[in-house]
Amino acid sequence: MTCLTVAVLAVAPSLAVASLSPAGFAVSMSRVCVIGTARANAVGQVSSVMDLVRLGPQLIGIDQWELNEIVKLGAPPAAIANYVSQFIAEQRRIDSLGIEAVSAARRGDAFTAERLSQRSSTLTRTQDLDARMIGAAKCVSSTGAR
């Protein structure tokens, strides 16, 4: 049992769905990503430092909602548990970098905001590999997931 499994069971034992197959878990996770992507698309795309100041907090909030919903799915099947754990850890790092980037943008530090955004993009590519290994196709950034 992974640390994530133990943590999920300790926090929300009634949400743990041991009967989900890896494919079932992946479908549920993809559903969360589809909803989150639609919400993020409704907020808009960040293409400048001012956009980051204006839209960043809303987009980070949507990311955090997605993360909470994925955790609520419960303990992932053993075959994909490590990938799910990595996906969640990477999302937490991405959110943290996003918060730092918004803070830098608010201070007018475009250089730091850009550097943090680039680090976030690198983590997103790593997270995409985990989403593919899980089978959660709608959680891969190339399919529009944010």
Domain ranges, residue 100: 20-143
82 occurs within a structural domain:
yes
Q: 6 in a domain, yes or no?
A: no
pLDDT at 43: 95
- pLDDT tens digit string along 73-99? 999 999 999 999 999 999 999 999 999
- Count of domains observed in the chain: 1
The reply to whether 34 falls in a domain is yes
Q: Is residue 81 part of a domain?
A: yes
Instruction: Specify if 137 maps to a domain.
Output: yes
115/21 Cα distance (integer angstroms) = 39
**41 pLDDT above the threshold of 50:** yes
pLDDT band at 145 (very low <50, low <70, confident <90, very high): low
Does residue 37 sit within a domain?
A: yes
Q: Is the pLDDT of residue 51 over 80?
A: yes
**Residue 146: pLDDT band with limits 50, 70, 90:** low
Q: Which residues fall within 8 angstroms of residue 116, CB to CB, at 6 or more apart?
A: 97, 98, 100, 101, 104
Q: How far apart are alpha carbons 21 and 65 in whole angstroms? A: 23
pLDDT at residue 20 in the model = 81
Q: Please answer whether residues 114 and 102 qualify as being in contact, where contact means their C-beta atoms are separated by less than 8 angstroms.
A: no
